[in-house]
Amino acid sequence: MNTPWPLVALLGVAAALWFAAELHPSFMNPAGAVAADGNGAFTLCVRASQENCVIDGDTIRYGGIKIRLEDIDAPEVFSPRCASEARLGQRAAERLLHLMNSGPFQLVSGERDEDRYGRKLRTIERGGRSLGEMLVAEGLARRWEGGRRSWCG
C-alpha cells in the first residue's frame, strides 16, 4: 500500500508537536498556562539539575529552564551584602515557594525574552495577578525599575 507523502508529513508534524508538549508543558499554550499540582511541585533549589524549584525571591527553575520574574527585584540569598538582606531574601524565597505551590499559574512574556544571563524573563500570574506584585505588597520585593539597588541600610 502506498501512503501519500502529505499524510506521512502530517503525521510526522503531529508526532513532533506531541513530543515537544511532553518535554515542556507550556509549549502548546502560547499564554503559558501551567497547572502546578499544589502538592509540593516546587521546592527550594539545592542543585542546578532540579526541574522545578525556587532559586530566590525573583528567580525560579521551571522544567529545567531558569526564569527571572521580570516585574520585581528581590533581595539576594546567595551573595547578600548584609545580614538583613540575607534574612529578607530567605523570607522572599520561601514566600515565592509557597505561592508557586498554591495552584495553577501562567508564565506571561513581556517586552524582552531573556536577560543578559540567558534567563527567560516572565511575569508569573495567578488569576490575572502577578505573584511578584504579591511579594512587593508584602514588603519582600520591590518593583523592577531597570537596575539593582542596595537592600542594606
Q: Alpha-carbon distance 20 to 26, whole Å? A: 10
Q: What is the pLDDT of residue 29?
A: 38
pLDDT, tens digit, 9 for 90 and up, residues 17-51: 333 444 444 433 334 444 444 445 899 998 878 99
Q: Alpha-carbon distance 110 to 38, whole Å? A: 25
Q: What is the pLDDT of residue 8?
A: 45
Residue numbers in the chain where pLDDT is lower than 50:
7-39
Contacts of 136 (CB under 8 A, 6+ apart): 72, 142, 143
Q: What is the pTM (predicted TM-score) of this model?
A: 0.74
Tell whether the torsion through CA atoms of 12, 27, 104 and 42 is positive or negative.
positive
Contacts of 23 (CB under 8 A, 6+ apart): 63
